[in-house]
Structure 1
């Protein structure tokens, strides 16, 4: 019997170790592809942020030039408002161009020349305006008629077009790399599934062979021990039970593993069940039927190594699935057309709290909404996503030792409305103020569900609506998120929005 059981059981242990190796390899490939996808995505987001200064520089120069012309034609000081706003934006534009130049992703010489042209254009605008303010209107118009400013604008526009074309090419290259990584992930998953199916098939064959050997051993024992009926009955009963376990295991394996495997996660669940049955089979083997070292290795593989590998592959595939779904989500949000319509912020905020009423009741949260929230012209769906994410975060990251206290206040500043979402939750460390808005990044204890895309989506949507969001916080006391939105969202080419 030792000779009969030793070889198949040893092969079974080898196959189990092979399965561990395959799962480990899949885990490594999954982590590698996830890391590569994360890197490409961060690079794409960073490049888009750096290149965003170019259209802002174009709009600034065009607005300032229109303001200058209107002022020279009408001599009305109100026409200088775009010029003055452009002067206020100039430091941010220069800083953005400096960051773009230092990043190395754009032509440094062209950016340097663009900075010179911007300075020349600003000097030309300033000189003509100052001459007109001094009563020297003819001289101011003469400055314009030299067409020097026009030449500067044309050269600046050519450079901006070249830089933007380069940005489009770089983004297309990065998206291609993301697509290639996704395809590699699909092939890796499919290859792993095929290998796992092969190993499972071999395991089924070996289990059936063991079952046949057990049946043969039972018959041999009956023939050799005819005079020992009680012993034969006991041995037969033990073998019958073992055989039933093997048959049950064979049924589970054949039933589960013959079903179509659509992905590694589905197979991992089936493998859990199969491993449990193998454990029972090993426990049911007669004493001395398997060499102790081999039996110990097999039990170690069944009880520790394979479950650990299954957990690794589940975590890896789950992470990759969630990362891909987030990029698709951000990509869809980035392509979604925005519709400007009148939105009652008071009604929208109240409805957002109402949609989370069950969480508010469960946590005992107190809610305070400042009355009089205004109506604005903006995209309703984007605002619902922003407000919903902020409220959900406040409830999710509440302090464990006190009931949540949530408040929404507001004030109007010029053409903007500023909403403050305050809570008394865990708080955020100062060094994490910007980190929490980064894609796939989270701060503090990681004991709440989430993938780190909520606040990055909030900031992206706020900026698409012409606003922004920042945070101030005291660790352990709470946070305040300041959401700034324009009273009237102006459709533009960058936002790809329309008014309805």
Structure 2
């Protein structure tokens, strides 16, 4: 059967949606990488500022030490003061050169470093005229030099210059912090847009899957209504149905498999970004304590509230998307599994299910009754076990509060088919939802139980694959009965 214009439009839409999803994920990854690199660069500049401040503090320490040993020698001459002066004279030039290396990229700071170098030399030379004299400070000329030299003025100017350099570094740091805040805001804006696009793509693909599943269901219902003598029409319709089913399986696999890898990357980078906000918050807190005027209210709110909130939104959205993709992947894998028919004793299967749920039933006071004998079938063991497990577990999950759970399974043969009723006394289902509950990602009633709306869609898909069907009868507040109909002997589609 050739593709129609609608089919081509559908295929193009699917490709466009997948491409948009990949583009959104790539943009999100690039935005996270850009944000991390900018954060690292900002941290490097903060460290640089602290290094400059530390070196300036060390310079002031040695300059003050020269003055201290000068005064000490004046008051009480001692060899320790002479040794202290010698050590200070050796360390001051090293510290000045380290400051020069740290500020080599800043011409204005280099000018101040040159001034510091001159002041340090002036102070060392002035005090050195006294300490280098033979006989120390005992003669009158030495005493005069100690009182009248320019050491005081040199220290005063050194202090003023170092304060200017620290203030200049702080201004540079403030400018860089402002640029960093702008880059962080831009990064999160890009992440928000990319996340929104990814969610829209996920919603559209889910809608497409549901629409195609509904079309497959309608096709199968129509196929069952055809006259047995219309073998040609049945064969043609079966072929169309098989092609549609294969297309759905391929599409589900593409969506679940190819989108999952970049989604995992987004989740990983979101975790790294979350970890990166902690040192940023600590830095802002330290800046608030040391220099409150540097941190604006917007910056504080961005670090302490806006960034964690945005990261939490991205994380919850990606986790939800991951659960949905995993659910689609499970359905796709089950749809591609090869059916292996064998003779099954359904009563024994249900006894095994009851035994596996014994701990749960004893906890909630539930009772599972199997009305034997039950008809045997030739079908796929794993699929049949999954169908009954889902139906029994759903009956236990959606029990009526305050009413002991009672589940009864009955069976009968009719015209080459075996029918099984799973009856419960739970909360029941609204008549308007009797068919909707079999749709993918659709649930009914109060959503107080965990789940993604996959179980009953999976049950009906398995029943269809086995050549049967599952239906529901229910009354709100009374209970529900799910009827599973299977061929007594499974036949592959071609043979059927």
Give the TM-score normalised by structure 2: 0.58
Corresponding residue for residue 213 of structure 1: none
1:492 pairs with 2:486:
no
Deviation at 1:328, TM superposition (A): 3.0
Separation in structure 2 between the aligned mates of residue 458 and residue 172 of structure 1, nearest angstrom:
18
Aligned pairs (5 A) from 1:406-485:
406-485=407-486
Name whichever of 360-369 and 161-170 sits farther off.
161-170
Separation in structure 2 between the aligned mates of residue 311 and residue 52 of structure 1, nearest angstrom:
44
Deviation at 1:380, TM superposition (A): 1.2
Q: Secondary structure at the match of 1:263?
A: helix
Corresponding residue for residue 174 of structure 2: 6
Deviation at 1:31, TM superposition (A): 0.6
Instruction: Work out whether residues 405 and 423 of structure 1, in 8 Å CA contact, stay in contact via their aligned partners in 2.
Output: yes
Deviation at 1:347, TM superposition (A): 0.8
CA 1:173–1:61 in structure 2 vs 1: closer, same or farther (change >3 Å)? same
Count residues in correspondence.
328
Corresponding residue for residue 324 of structure 1: 325
Instruction: Work out whether residues 337 and 495 of structure 1, in 8 Å CA contact, stay in contact via their aligned partners in 2.
Output: no
**Among 265, 281, 284, which residue is 1:282 paired with?**
284
CA 1:33–1:414 in structure 2 vs 1: closer, same or farther (change >3 Å)? same
CA 1:344–1:161 in structure 2 vs 1: closer, same or farther (change >3 Å)? closer
Q: Which has the larger radius of gyration?
A: 2
Q: Deviations over 1:198-235 (max 9, x none)?
A: xxxxxxxxxxxxxxxxxxxxxxxxxxxxxxxxxxxxxx
Separation in structure 2 between the aligned mates of residue 177 and residue 275 of structure 1, nearest angstrom:
38
Separation in structure 1 between the aligned mates of residue 218 and residue 259 of structure 2, nearest angstrom:
29
Corresponding residue for residue 369 of structure 1: 370
1:36 pairs with 2:204:
yes
Deviation at 1:53, TM superposition (A): 5.7
CA 1:173–1:425 in structure 2 vs 1: closer, same or farther (change >3 Å)? closer
Q: Secondary structure at the match of 1:338?
A: coil
Instruction: Work out whether residues 267 and 315 of structure 2, in 8 Å CA contact, stay in contact via their aligned partners in 1.
Output: yes
Q: Which has the higher contact order (CA 8 A, sep 6+)?
A: 1
Separation in structure 2 between the aligned mates of residue 354 and residue 13 of structure 1, nearest angstrom:
60
Separation in structure 2 between the aligned mates of residue 370 and residue 168 of structure 1, nearest angstrom:
37
Q: Deviations over 1:16-53 (max 9, x none)?
A: 32332132123212211211211221232123223336
CA 1:495–1:422 in structure 2 vs 1: closer, same or farther (change >3 Å)? farther
1:315 pairs with 2:483:
no
Corresponding residue for residue 337 of structure 2: 336
Deviation at 1:491, TM superposition (A): 0.8
Q: Deviations over 1:137-158 (max 9, x none)?
A: xxxxxxxxxxxxxxxxxxxx4x
Instruction: Work out whether residues 429 and 476 of structure 2, in 8 Å CA contact, stay in contact via their aligned partners in 1.
Output: yes
Corresponding residue for residue 245 of structure 1: none
Separation in structure 2 between the aligned mates of residue 173 and residue 319 of structure 1, nearest angstrom:
25
Q: Secondary structure at the match of 2:277?
A: helix
**CA-atom RMSD in angstroms:** 3.3
**Among 219, 226, 244, which residue is 1:51 paired with?**
219
1:349 pairs with 2:343:
no
Q: Secondary structure at the match of 1:482?
A: strand
Name whichever of 18-27 and 53-62 sits farther off.
53-62
Deviation at 1:343, TM superposition (A): 1.0
Separation in structure 2 between the aligned mates of residue 417 and residue 162 of structure 1, nearest angstrom:
27
CA 1:480–1:175 in structure 2 vs 1: closer, same or farther (change >3 Å)? closer
Name whichever of 298-307 and 431-440 sits farther off.
298-307
Corresponding residue for residue 264 of structure 1: 266
Structure 2, unmatched stretches of 5+, are 1-166
Corresponding residue for residue 183 of structure 2: 15
Instruction: Work out whether residues 257 and 329 of structure 2, in 8 Å CA contact, stay in contact via their aligned partners in 1.
Output: no
Q: Secondary structure at the match of 1:491?
A: coil
Q: Deviations over 1:321-380 (max 9, x none)?
A: 333333332233223222222211111001112222332233232222223223222221
Instruction: Work out whether residues 344 and 381 of structure 2, in 8 Å CA contact, stay in contact via their aligned partners in 1.
Output: yes
Deviation at 1:437, TM superposition (A): 0.6
Deviation at 1:161, TM superposition (A): 7.0
Q: Secondary structure at the match of 1:425?
A: coil
Q: Secondary structure at the match of 1:350?
A: helix
Q: Deviations over 1:238-287 (max 9, x none)?
A: xxxxxxxxxxxxxxxxxxxxxxxx51112222333332332233222244
Separation in structure 1 between the aligned mates of residue 200 and residue 443 of structure 2, nearest angstrom:
21
Separation in structure 2 between the aligned mates of residue 444 and residue 297 of structure 1, nearest angstrom:
44
Separation in structure 1 between the aligned mates of residue 495 and residue 306 of structure 2, nearest angstrom:
52
Aligned pairs (5 A) from 1:72-471:
157=232, 185=259, 189=262, 263-287=265-289, 289=291, 291=293, 295-471=296-472
Deviation at 1:56, TM superposition (A): 4.5
Instruction: Work out whether residues 465 and 495 of structure 1, in 8 Å CA contact, stay in contact via their aligned partners in 2.
Output: no
